[in-house]
Amino acid sequence: MSQGDSERLGRREALVGMAATLGAATLGVGGAASRAVALDSGTLETGALETGALNTGPDASEAADETRPVGPHGLRTPDAGVEALFGDLTGRVIEGHWRIEAVHAVRAGAIPVVFSIRTGQRFAAEVFRWDPTDPAPLGRAGELAIYLANGGDGATATHEMGGLGARALGRALQARLASGAPVPEGLTSLGVRSRLHPRGAFDIPC
């Protein structure tokens, strides 16, 4: 092999090596970007976020119906399962104080809910499956657990009216369950979500 051929072969091997390195870097960036998109959503009640949160990507319920509009932070309009659970609660004032402003489709194992009080202040909560090993929820309804979303960094105290609203939501959902409303598919416990993605954050715009 001539010196020229050797030099050309060396340059080609170097280019192949560079291409492989760039390919690996691109895959790494793609994985991180996918994870960042998947983790773009809400936080949990004081004490709850300390156990973490998760989002592995679209829920099974979301994947089954890609026609539902996607809002901020991956929120979607509720599907038939969520609508069957909440019935006519959406838009209603419960217990004379809390209006259910919005209910979203299951996202990362929980149902995001926005409610307000007469002063106009709004709060957000998430409805999970209840697990006795999880932090105590503010609201309960049979096998459902309601956690208030308030920043989740452990430094924000629960607003009294927000906490009472979460309890009221629990009682309203308990009545729905007692009347035969089903529990939607795709719900997980807080602990399951926490263990899968301890750095997840799931915002619920109010």
CA distance 93 to 118: 10
Percent of the chain beyond pLDDT 90?
52
What are the pLDDT digits (tens) for 81-94? 999 999 999 999 99
Spell out the residues 6+ positions from residue 118 whose beta carbon is closer than 8 angstroms to its own.
Answer: 97
The whole-angstrom separation of Cα 104 and Cα 121 is 19
Question: Any residues with CB less than 8 A from the CB of 126 and at least 6 apart, and which?
Answer: 42, 44, 110, 111, 112, 113, 146, 147, 149, 202, 204
Residue ranges of domains in the chain: 49-196
pLDDT in tens, 45-96: 333 333 333 333 444 444 445 556 666 688 999 999 999 999 999 999 999 9
Displacement of CA 5 from its chain's centroid (Å): 59
- Helix, strand or coil for residue 77? coil
Q: Is the pTM of this model over 0.75?
A: no
